[in-house]
Copies of this chain bind each other. A is one copy, B any other.
């Protein structure tokens, strides 16, 4: 139950899903465009050019004006943004990761920006990594932070040369991104400069924590050896504050690996976000301690997810601790007062008590919030409301 947020209607033994309530990014119910985000341009003085970027805001963003969100930055946004954004939305709706903002950075001259050196053997001039890092640190990240409600946690995901750049940032400015995702990084650039730089930088690390996700593809020969070297370097850096995961994907090509690896990386960034049932069954204090420990491990504040608090409230309700249960449900609402899910849940609780007047009020409010904030599944709230009205009618008829 805990793994499926708000899954009140999840019936043990019957593997039929209730409508997934924490739904994906908004689309209009009327004929029209399906919009998953916005794109904008930003003039960079450092790069002396306009840069296009893409932003996906999480489902609760509009209705939660005081909430901040971690940001996952994705290089090569022209190819990597949309699947990353869709995956992040699905995983958040499914309660596997917290809601995040996804920002894609569209490439212009990617080899120029992503490489540390101007390798003569390459077909395009390199060596702009320092300048591109400065663009991120001094211009672009501040721009995003001033435009959107961001929490302090940032991750950077890069593929191929983009992965090379992500590793460069890890060595040059490890505080810039707590999370580093390097998917099939081009380790052989200029006689393995990424590996050499990383090896040199690790002994100098002081009081800084990073998580590094590294995925490789169908490499062989020297490329495979480079992958193994990187995995070993990262593993050996555990005492220097680098938590890492290496995922070989020998069945994936260099380009194709980005699809499964990005989804996997998003989950690993927030590994532990799904609290084990055994912890939930021990009650609220245990759950809070669990997320406090997790926050320390991941290097970001992770509050107890509303779906988990909701599950705890229903556990209390079913155990007959009604006062506690309703207090918890009202606390969820206090923290997220425009959440249709929270009011729908409150209505369920009232219905289980046969408090149909209160249930009706809660369902009406859930429905109006779903309408106001363009919830993907307004029809669900209509049906829930109709159900309460039917129950009330039956009760009134029986009087």
Contact = CB atoms under 8 A, between A and B. Distances in A.
Interface stretch (A183-191, A338-346, A352-360): A183-191
A155 to B, nearest CB: 19
A123 B383 CA distance: 13
Nearest to A121: B14
B17 A254 contact: yes
Contact of A39 (B29, B38, B107, B159): B29
Contacts of A85: 86
A93 interface: yes
Interface stretch (A20-28, A174-182, A237-245): A20-28
B3 A34 contact: no
B94 A14 contact: no
Q: How many A residues touch the partner, as a band?
A: 35 or more
A137 to B, nearest CB: 23
Contact of A188 (B15, B76, B376): B15
Contacts of A260: 260, 263
A87 interface: yes
Interface string A2-16: 011000010101111
Interface stretch (A108-116, A280-288, A293-301, A309-317): A108-116
Contacts of A79: 20, 23-24, 90, 93, 376
A79 to B, nearest CB: 5
Interface in A70-89: 76, 78-79, 81-83, 85-87, 89
A363 interface: no
A161 interface: yes
A205 to B, nearest CB: 27
Nearest to A18: B123
Contacts of A13: 188
A78 B123 CA distance: 44
Contacts of A19: 78, 107, 110
A337 interface: no
Given A16-B122, A28-B39, A94 B256 contact: yes
A268 to B, nearest CB: 13
Interface string A360-394: 00000000000000001101000100000000000
Nearest to A219: B15
Interface in A242-263: 253-256, 258-260, 263
Given A31-B38, A31-B39, A16 B376 contact: no
A85 B83 CA distance: 9
Given A15-B160, A160-B16, A383 B263 contact: no
B186 A3 contact: no
From A4, A33, A36, A94, residue with most partner B Cβ within 10 Å? A36
Contacts of A56: 34
Given A30-B41, A123-B9, A260-B260, A15 B186 contact: yes
A96 interface: yes
A91 interface: yes
A9 B184 CA distance: 18
A108 B260 CA distance: 31
Q: What 6 A-B pairs come out closest when comparing CB atoms?
A: A86-B86, A31-B40, A83-B86, A34-B37, A33-B35, A17-B160
7 contacts: A11-B122, A25-B82, A34-B35, A82-B86, A83-B86, A91-B256, A263-B263
